[in-house]
Structure 1
Amino acid sequence: MNDLLSAFDLLIKTGQVTEAYTPHLLNNKGGNYNNLLEFHLSDGKVDVLVIYKTHHTNPVIRFVRIGPHSQLFQGKYH
């Protein structure tokens, strides 16, 4: 839980997380999370992903989903 709160705090303060969280853009065309951002918690020690998006003109971060890979990405259009 501390790792999650630390990541949220960093994201809110700086608008991004460090490379240790492996942040990246999701680009599965037709997928539910296409063009959203994702980062991994706990340096890969546990399977927890955070999917979020930022707003281009307002300082807003929308957290879309948090959970294990197996729950967030299932089927053809994950």
Structure 2
Amino acid sequence: MEAVSRFGEDGAFDPPATRTALAQVTLPVLLLTGEFELNSPPETVAAFADLFPDARLSIQPGAGHYPWLDDPERFTAVAADFLARP
């Protein structure tokens, strides 16, 4: 309940501060979206990927909001490849 109550509080939506924080993430980040995702469309996810210093963007062909259900083998392969990188 605390998280829900704080979600929209003052300062919760500070795009400049968020961009600054994301630029300081030092770990690799995987952003995966479906080709037909409406909530987080590929163009939006690509813009988010640009905010991280070390991001990999994957757009899963033919997938929508649940890429792990639309093509579980491809989703697993992309995630496993990302996790296996040095």
Q: TM-score, normalised by structure 2?
A: 0.25
Judging by fraction of residues, say which structure has more helix. Answer: 2
Q: TM-score, normalised by structure 1?
A: 0.26
